[in-house]
Structure 1
């Protein structure tokens, strides 16, 4: 084959893993370069490991060193150099899944046998890329003999060549054996001398370069479907993986709103359990779940649902504390579909009753405020149900150029305040853009996003969050500069 498999992994996987990185960038890149041939050597020798890693949402070094856990720390110390081992481990952890992805594409199949065949085809490139100290490591993992044999097996070209290679092998093999033995002894000595000082490997992810824990927040509606979802993480690869899981589990096209920032940790505690937990949450009505640090908080409309859900989840997240809380509101959970349908019908009726020969700005704004524009999570796409209402309003506004409206966007308090404010501005602007597209003069409209700054209900409840996610219309009297507020009392006279 024409491709260089190691160069391909450096080009594709390193680019993904190191995207956005600023700290120890050169050292992390070099660690990945050394890690790729080591990982391929292990996969070639252990086909069952390939399937095991493929079945995990976020495979880690721990899974590769499962037969010899004590060797992992020695390996990290060797490959990290002067960089904190936690930073390098996190980088290598994030590289395993995309490496498997590249191998599957190049092999044309996800079958372990196909991937092994691919590695064997490129074995000369892989073996030549191995760091000098890697032979001892691989030998300690039980794959060193196969590697050594392959490295020194001469191609059958001519008898003269065979003789020359035998001479070289006779000279080199004892020397290589001596080097391997020396390195192994060094590993053993370091392991023994540092046994008392080295703490056992923690089941918690190492978080050295970030200040805030990764966070996942989501909630379900009255029918148990996903209504809101927000994800905060410093790991772009894992964000993509988790997004796909959420879309599939909840049959939700948009997935989560995302804030990817280096301030957030790249891993969740017990993150391999996230898909299993979400499958338990699916179908349970009015659940609010927050996964942050070593705490998983569950809030439901009643304490019984929360306790039952927690009892199922706790065995899956052994390193976390599951907290339960019943929603503080005793009101019946909002049936969002019914509320939206009723509000939109009232808005259409109110707009139809406006006299086209006596159009008042406050009449239009009040009618528009009867509707509910229920955007999908993290989306600025106007629902089809609202377009006919906006079409009615646009037809009236085109006949009344004196009508000037401010479109105000609001969100609930789920997620980061700055992100919510940006999203609310974009949603308000989407409404303005739609009306302008229908022929309304842009001078008649302005968009303002307030994010979560102006709640009208308690954000700790599902009902309150639903009410706070809204688009409002208000009138600006251009002569006095006074904003005229619009409420739900019906159409007012100016």
Structure 2
């Protein structure tokens, strides 16, 4: 498990935002190693292990290192080593500490954080600088190699020492003269170059560095490919979503799913976009781990990068599931999902959504805007549809972008878990989608750009058997309304959902359903489950007066 790479991918973008400075990125990488070494100490971690640390708690750094002299040394040494302003160094560290803490806790899963960090010491130890020995627990610093201990079994270094002592004074006297000679030669070469060729001497080098930096920026913007699965009862595939960089990877994953789940793999929806990686390391072990996962009912598995996160309502079964998958995929970090941290999920989602908006550029692709909007968690309180205050600043910013992007039309889709009746959930999900639309309109978005649809519990992305799964299913998705796909019978819409998985909603060609397009927001759809193959309302057709008042068939 490469802890530093993981923190660099997840925390650094949230701390740096639009600042792509390689120096600051390197500074944070080294800080993560020092920070991990500090958290590996049981006494240090025990001071705040029971606290609810907010992700914007910039005073958390002061509680990790209670000695002010240690804090000052860390920021000063890192600033000097990476040529960053000392004040900026202190600010970056303070921002990164609580975010890195939550990511490390998440990686540790059910393993105590100090034990996890000590078990994985080799993954970050080499990043710890020698001076940090004064601010971290003893034994965390990698042993420095012995340099110059001896040249060979027969050669002594004594003559070298004597030679240095003998000629040292003379050489020191020559150094200023040599420096002046070199400086004069460089000045002459620069003057001669300007006279012969107006092109700056360093132009080729500068151009090469700029290209390399742009490539680094592009690479850092690419998200790892991911696959999220949920089983139902009886070894069935309940839900499936994937984020992949190209169709080749999509085909690879679908083939593996089909081998294990057969025709149920058709439930899997894919968001295929070059903002995701075109490779998934875990694809090589899917044939081994999917049958193991299939045997666990009402379970969840999320694969992203080098991490596999699993959950199940059966505690004993979950422990066995983790052990079995780890044995089948020894090169991956397999862990059980920890308790649901609602505030943490909200905070993380808003950071991720804000970062995604930062990365869309001046002329954004509407698809990227929809995906960024879907990353946020809008945590409505029970049975209501009021926009939480935490989401309003982000929605305000999104409203400005939607207004400025020409021809952007979005569909806002509400989803619920399965804890209430289907009819109630349909109504609540519609109200919540409408609430998001109304708020965006109040912030200046043209209402004609926004369509809403409530899907209730009919399109889950996780199991409803766990608290974490229900939380994921309660969501708002933004997708693109593509008018070019209208053919008179329906519409196809494709975009991101929740940032983790994509949607591909196909036309509603159910001719028994009086609303041939359940997503267009115009004609009420009396069918309480608009995605199935019949018109099976359990209510009178009074919900659509054009269809009469007879109760729908129940078959």
TM-score by length of 2: 0.30
**Larger of the two Rg values belongs to structure:** 1
Tell me the TM-score normalised to structure 1 length.
Answer: 0.32
